[in-house]
Amino acid sequence: MIIRSFLARFFSTLVTLFGVAVVVFVLVRIAPGNPIAMMLPPGATEEDVARLRALYGFDKTLIEQFFVWLGNVIYGDFGTSITMRLPVSELVLQRLPATLELSIMALVIALVLGGSLAVFGARFRGRAQEVGVDISTGAALSVPDFLWGLLLILAFGVAWPVLHISGRVDPHMDVDLTTNFYFFEGLLLGDFALVSSVLSHMLMPALALGLPLAAMIAQLLKQSLKEQLDQDYVNLARVRGHGETHVILSEALRNAALPTLTLIGVQFAFLIGGTVIVERLFAYEGLGNMAIDAVINRDLPLIQGIVLLFAVLFIAINLTVDLTYSLLNPKLRHD
């Protein structure tokens, strides 16, 4: 049973990835712009252009190109970046930790902030405090992530300059780590100078990405909490002497979290998409920033590699959400 559902999942994942690969491959080639022309100095001969085209395989038909590329991808070869002259897999894996750290930090901010606001609003439902939560989450939602980025730069970068507005780490700092997970590896090694430098760079972009999601979580979770708080099992807990805060946290929260979890899964995927623009805004050396450069330079192999990696991330997030869901909801567990 478990093996069968795992296999079904695995094959549907492969189909999804193949679809993504086809779409990306075709799209970046239909889009106007010629990467070869950008690489050659002015005055290059027709012959030079043809040689370079042959080198990158652009002289073959689209279908041929696709299967050559796909064949290489299966063996872990994503091609060579046209602009950076380095293997795409190396470039992408080097940037991935930065984006993952940023997204996870944003998610943690959204969960903590949104969760507490939801519990607070549900605890004081029908009173001024709940109205306060509604107004602040409504405001946070109506501001998109990049605008949050600009507002945060104005507040903590200009008016009260306590945080760094660009980069991932202090450029003077000697970073000597085995992985590119500066924050997590720094934490593990107990290098607090590094961790605090990374945090002071990461906090603003993470907030910009996390605030709208926090508002969404707060609104949905508060609503589901309020529905749960009218249920008889909650009343029974009250009769057994539990105070309202305890009733919310230990009885209602796990039930209310289920619909919110679905939302978090979908929105976290959007959040990773949001890193593209927010990383650009804060000159943060992640995948998103690299994606923009790749698109501007028509670096086809790099674009394909990044998009495929984003697709893998989306699928991994969905899988995690489904697993967590069945962990929280006994109705979905099979023996």
Partner 1 sequence: MTQNVFTLEISGLNVSSHSGTRVLDNISLQVEPGEVRALVGESGAGKSMIGRAVLGTLPPILDKSSGHIILNGKDLSLLSERKRREWVAHNAALIPQDPLSALNPVRRVGAQIITPLVRIHSWSKREAEDRCLSLLDQVKIRDPKRVLKSYPHELSGGMRQRILIAAAFANRPPLIVADEPTTALDVTVQKEILKIVRLLQEDTGTAVLFVTHDMGVVAQVSQTLTVLFGGRVLEDSKTHDVFTRDASHPYTQALIRSTPDYHSAGGKFVPVPDNVIATLHAQMRERLS
Give yes or no for residue 29 binding partner 1 (CB under 8 A).
Answer: no
Q: How would DSSP label each residue in 141-205?
A: HHS-HHHHHHHHIIIIIIIS--S--SSSS-TTS----SSS-HHHHHHHHT-HHHHHHHHHHHHHH
Give yes or no for residue 241 binding partner 1 (CB under 8 A).
Answer: yes
* Minimum gap (Å) between residue 123 Cβ and partner 1: 11
Give yes or no for residue 1 binding partner 1 (CB under 8 A).
Answer: no
What are the beta bridge partners of residue 80? 87
Q: Tell me the C-alpha distance between 19 and 311, whole Å.
A: 10
One-letter amino acid of 197: S
φ/ψ region of 290 (left if φ > 0, alpha if ψ in -120 to 50, else beta) reads: alpha
Rounded to 5°, angle at Cα 179 from 173 and 180: 60
Residue among 67, 94, 38 at smallest CA distance from 295 = 38
Give yes or no for residue 235 binding partner 1 (CB under 8 A).
Answer: yes
Residue among 118, 113, 91, 154 at smallest CA distance from 256 = 118
* Minimum gap (Å) between residue 299 Cβ and partner 1: 49
Q: Tell me the C-alpha distance between 271 and 100, whole Å.
A: 11
* Minimum gap (Å) between residue 239 Cβ and partner 1: 5
Give yes or no for residue 3 binding partner 1 (CB under 8 A).
Answer: no
Give yes or no for residue 334 binding partner 1 (CB under 8 A).
Answer: no
Residues between 87 and 126 that touch partner 1 (CB under 8 A): 125-126
Give yes or no for residue 331 binding partner 1 (CB under 8 A).
Answer: yes
Residue among 123, 112, 111 at smallest CA distance from 261 = 111
Which residues neighbour 245 within 8 Å (Cβ) at sequence distance 6 or greater? 119, 123
* Minimum gap (Å) between residue 327 Cβ and partner 1: 10
**Of the two residues 47 and 335, which places its CB atom closer to partner 1 in the complex?**
335
The site string for partner 1 over 205-234 (x = CB under 8 A, - otherwise) reads: -------------------------xxxx-
| C-alpha neighbours within 13 Å on the C-beta side of residue 175 | 17
Give yes or no for residue 43 binding partner 1 (CB under 8 A).
Answer: no
**Of the two residues 65 and 255, which places its CB atom closer to partner 1 in the complex?**
255
Q: Tell me the C-alpha distance between 40 and 46, whole Å.
A: 11
Q: Choose the stretch contacting partner 1; rule: CB under 8 A; options: 83-91, 148-156, 241-249, 307-315.
A: 241-249
**Of the two residues 9 and 242, which places its CB atom closer to partner 1 in the complex?**
242
Q: Tell me the C-alpha distance between 261 and 8, whole Å.
A: 23
Among 101, 185, 191, 251, interactor with partner 1 by CB under 8 A:
251
Among 2, 30, 159, 239, interactor with partner 1 by CB under 8 A:
239
By the 8 A CB rule, do 167 and 112 touch?
no
Give yes or no for residue 32 binding partner 1 (CB under 8 A).
Answer: no
**Of the two residues 4 and 333, which places its CB atom closer to partner 1 in the complex?**
333
Give yes or no for residue 262 binding partner 1 (CB under 8 A).
Answer: no
Among 238, 266, 277, 318, interactor with partner 1 by CB under 8 A:
238
In the complex, the residues that contact partner 1 under the rule CB under 8 A are: 125-126, 230-233, 235-236, 238-243, 251, 254-255, 328-331
